[in-house]
Amino acid sequence: MRNILIIFQKEISVFFNSLIAYVVMSVFLTGNGLFFWIFGDNVLETGAADLATLFALSPWFFLFLIPAITMRSFAEEIRTGTIDLLFSRPLTRWEILLGKYLAACALVVFSVFPTLIYFATIWYLGNPTGNLDAAAASGAYIGLLFLGFSFASIGIFASTLTTNQILAFILAVFISFFSYTGFDFIAELPGLSGLNEWIIQFGMMEHFRSISRGVVDSRDLLFFLSLSTIFLLLSDLNLQLKKK
């Protein structure tokens, strides 16, 4: 646990000593804020006391911003050769992997936390005050965090595949996009009408929608945890091959 914490602290320090963390969080908050208050069917125009716009847009921002966080995690280490230095220390692959993964997850939490201002504002502006489905909002926040954690595991996996950060970013975006929406598209293909409900269950979007309704089902949380575990296992396999 101590070694995981050391890697975690190192990664957090690297993030906040560079522009990437500040750019990612700024883009996430600014983009959501603009659509929430100004553009499209914003809250001020519709007068709806809910956070639907925030939770509809956040996954799409995460699709691009989380790969930007994770793209350097292993790709840069492999490119510069510092991964061999890490392997030479009394650290296991899983300690390195979990330290980097938890640091990425922490940045997801840091990005989402300030949006509680939107929750408080809508709660205050509601007519009457507090006219907000807090259960649905709480469920959606939990779903958004678990979705972000899954994207982070995909980003870590993509970063173990290449020494090029841009390629790692593109791979992470593609895999995340497919994992989020791909199974919904597959379910709509002709000839699969009898299997569409079963196929959709393999996609992240369905499980995120389910939690966003305010019912935090353990099966949805287990899906995200399982998906994250699968990609971390694949990442460990890649690191094992590179260590040989």
C-alpha dist (Å) from residue 144 to 1, 38, 228: 27, 22, 14
- Residue 195 neighbours by CB distance under 10 Å: 12
- Reading the chain (244 residues) residue by residue, the pLDDT tens digits are 788 888 899 888 888 888 888 888 888 888 877 877 676 565 555 555 567 778 888 899 999 999 998 998 888 888 887 777 777 777 788 888 999 999 999 999 988 988 888 888 777 776 666 567 777 888 889 999 999 999 999 999 999 998 899 999 999 999 999 999 988 888 777 766 667 777 888 889 889 988 887 777 888 999 999 999 999 999 999 888 876 5
What predicted TM-score, i.e. pTM, was given to this entire model?
A: 0.89
**CB contact set of 156 (below 8 Å; sequence gap of 6+):** 70, 73, 74, 97, 100, 101, 104, 231, 232, 235
Give the domain range for residue 222. Answer: 2-243
Question: How many domains does the chain divide into?
Answer: 1
What pLDDT score was predicted for residue 136?
80
**CB contact set of 159 (below 8 Å; sequence gap of 6+):** 70, 71, 72, 73, 74, 75, 165, 168, 172
Q: What is the 3-state secondary structure (H, E, C) of 52-74?
A: HHHHHHHHHHHHHHHHHHHCCCC
Is residue 211 within 8 A of residue 217, CB to CB? The reply is yes
C-alpha dist (Å) from residue 66 to 69, 70, 88, 152, 172: 5, 6, 29, 6, 9
Q: How far is CA 124 from the centre of its chain?
A: 29
CA R_g for the chain: 19
Task: Give the separation between CA 231 and CA 118, rounded to whole angstroms.
Answer: 32
- Residue 110 neighbours by CB distance under 10 Å: 16
Task: Give the separation between CA 149 and CA 151, rounded to whole angstroms.
Answer: 5
